[in-house]
Structure 1
Amino acid sequence: MRKILLSFDGTHYSRGAFNFASSMNDEEPILLTGAFLPQVDFASSWSYAGGGGTVYIPLLESYDADIVAANIRKFQEDCVRHNIEHRVHRDFSSFALPELQKESRYADLMILGSQRFYENLGLENPNEYLRDALHDAECPVLIAPEEFDYPETVVLAYDGSSASVYAIKQFAYLFPELCRNQCILVYAGKKEGKGIPDEDYIRELVARHFSDLTFYELEANPRDYFSTWISDLDRPILVSGAFGRSGFSQIFKRSFASDVIAEKQFPVFIAHR
């Protein structure tokens, strides 16, 4: 049984995030922990400049406790309706992100709603608070839009790095049921025509986990059309490696993952050491 952490910011309930967890439970029973983080005051936020530091946003002195309580009831009722074993955590103090980081340490996977997680904190998508949650998480993270179809095609973003291989392995361990679906390992090289790095090694690994596997090498400057390409696939999920402040890999630049999250069409699985 997998322990799944479902994180909500105080007044926003992500139906998409819950639906993904529910679909996981349909495949194999899970323990679902709902973490209800307090609302924050964006106007009083501050962060370390230049990267390397975590953004800390102070909690509002008084957020709408009635809305939070209603969301907790909704979560509990949804879990009972879908026969999901569940827990509720809401004892967060000082700053929400360090507490969420600790929660992720004791989970196999964290699910966040890309459109509802602190959606009031700015126009960028993913917003800075969501980016920091991804960066600081101590378990893999699944980013779910509010409206999506449960994945039928798995897209593995591979750049030859240890980070991309780590993400592929974590996905295979956590979602063996999805490994039976169509899978496309996508490589985008810095120089067109150079081939997939360590191709024999990565083929040996992924073929052990994914039964319907295709390798695909994108052309130069693939970001220009990656979103269109993945949109043509049947109900995809993107699997990517480390998600830092400047992107999730050196080759995929700023990145495909950011674009897919921003477009709110497909789930994105992100794992880093």
Structure 2
Amino acid sequence: MSRLKSKRMNRIKVVLGFGGSSFDKRELDGIFKFLPHSNMLYVGAVINDLDGIPLIMPCAGGKCGNNVACVQKKEKKARQELYAYLSEKCEETACKYIIHKDEGCMPQELIRETQYADLLIINQETYNATVINEGESIPFRILLELAGCPVLVLPKDIANIEQVVMTFDGTAIAMRGIKQFSYLLPDVGNRLPVTVLTTYCEEGPPSIEEKLFIEYLKQHFTNLALHKLCDDTEHTIYSAVGVDANTLLVVNNPSPQNLPILTKLLDCEEVMSPIKLFTRAG
């Protein structure tokens, strides 16, 4: 048996899923402002064949003579500019980066890559786009359910993160999601206020389990609050908790299906929508 040696341990592998030309430099700026740098390996990957995102148009009036070649040339230039900016940001912060494929990759390839990654980052437009999978057009977010790691979804404008809000429905899946967040971004959980939105059934969990749950949370988060939600508590999310663009919303599936208001938040394209971290169910 041979042993593989590594110069650096405990590095987090982050895949950046650039949705064609829709992923702009401001989003990269937001990522590097939000995430720690020293222990990150960034993998840049442009996702091809997404429907529903802004298209690169050929030159007006057919100046290039061939519209297809013109678009391909512009797409290549856009990819190169993104890769160059990623390289610049990584050099500034002394972290590592690699490029998945210069020509981009299919959505299914990206999902396979997540089996060997710690975090996938995409923007809201990519999340809401559609893809062809096995001959059928489906929302890209459905394909993301097969991701092998948590998925971070960025809004159009990334604000300073001032709080973390988590969902918890009492299931083992949701508990694993909270653990994933606490292991993946421990500095964020320690530095910011954390609110847990519980969506238990009417009778709630056994008292001993609730006690153990609260004990776990206190071990990982220094500034903690809990809110119990039901279908008519929309005001709690927006008023008491204040979920907005300054929020990191940690979504522990299948909790969102329990409350329509959470589903509305997840698909929101408004400027005030939060950053969303979808933890891995499996």
CA shift for structure 1 position 160:
0.5
- CA 1:261 to 1:231, structure 2 compared with 1: closer, same or farther past 3 Å? farther
What letter is aligned with 1:97?
P
Q: Are the aligned partners of 1:4 and 1:21 in contact in 2 as well (CA < 8 Å)?
A: no
Q: Which residue of 2 is the match for residue 79 of structure 1?
A: 90
Matched, 1:32 2:42: yes
Rounded to whole Å, the distance in 2 between the matches of 1:87 and 1:141 is 19
Q: Report the secondary structure of 2:81's partner residue.
A: helix
Q: Which residue of 2 is the match for residue 54 of structure 1?
A: none
Work out the percentage of aligned pairs sharing the same amino acid.
22
Q: Are the aligned partners of 1:11 and 1:39 in contact in 2 as well (CA < 8 Å)?
A: no
Q: Report the secondary structure of 1:67's partner residue.
A: helix
Structure 1 residues 14-93: aligned runs within 5 Å: 14-15=24-25, 17-26=27-36, 28-40=38-50, 63=72, 64-90=75-101
Matched, 1:267 2:278: no
Q: Which residue of 1 is the match for residue 164 of structure 2?
A: 154
Q: Are the aligned partners of 1:189 and 1:251 in contact in 2 as well (CA < 8 Å)?
A: no
CA shift for structure 1 position 80:
2.7
What letter is aligned with 1:268?
K
- How does the TM-score come out when normalised to structure 2? 0.72
CA shift for structure 1 position 220:
4.4
Give CA deviations for 1:190-217 in whole Å, capped at 9, x if unaligned: 43xx455631121122111111111221
Q: Are the aligned partners of 2:76 and 2:103 in contact in 1 as well (CA < 8 Å)?
A: no
Q: Which residue of 1 is the match for residue 12 of structure 2?
A: 2
Q: Which residue of 2 is the match for residue 100 of structure 1?
A: 110
CA shift for structure 1 position 137:
0.9
Rounded to whole Å, the distance in 2 between the matches of 1:98 and 1:229 is 40
- CA 1:143 to 1:25, structure 2 compared with 1: closer, same or farther past 3 Å? closer
What letter is aligned with 2:211?
D
Rounded to whole Å, the distance in 2 between the matches of 1:10 and 1:139 is 22
5+ long unaligned stretches in structure 1:
43-59, 243-247
Rounded to whole Å, the distance in 1 between the matches of 2:144 and 2:46 is 17
Larger helix percent: 2
Q: Which residue of 2 is the match for residue 202 of structure 1?
A: 213
* C-alpha RMSD of the superposition: 3.3
Rounded to whole Å, the distance in 2 between the matches of 1:118 and 1:202 is 31
Q: Are the aligned partners of 1:14 and 1:146 in contact in 2 as well (CA < 8 Å)?
A: no
Rounded to whole Å, the distance in 1 between the matches of 2:252 and 2:20 is 28
- CA 1:75 to 1:39, structure 2 compared with 1: closer, same or farther past 3 Å? farther
Q: Are the aligned partners of 2:25 and 2:82 in contact in 1 as well (CA < 8 Å)?
A: no
CA shift for structure 1 position 226:
3.1
Give CA deviations for 1:144-196 in whole Å, capped at 9, x if unaligned: 113132323111211111121111000000011012121111113443xx455
Rounded to whole Å, the distance in 1 between the matches of 2:121 and 2:222 is 26
- CA 1:239 to 1:186, structure 2 compared with 1: closer, same or farther past 3 Å? same
The partner residue of 1:252 within 250, 258, 261 is: 258
| Max Rg structure | 2
Q: Report the secondary structure of 1:23's partner residue.
A: helix
CA shift for structure 1 position 118:
7.1
- How does the TM-score come out when normalised to structure 1? 0.74
Q: Are the aligned partners of 2:34 and 2:161 in contact in 1 as well (CA < 8 Å)?
A: no
Rounded to whole Å, the distance in 2 between the matches of 1:27 and 1:65 is 28
Q: Are the aligned partners of 2:170 and 2:200 in contact in 1 as well (CA < 8 Å)?
A: no
What letter is aligned with 1:211?
T
Q: Which residue of 2 is the match for residue 211 of structure 1?
A: 222
Rounded to whole Å, the distance in 2 between the matches of 1:206 and 1:9 is 35
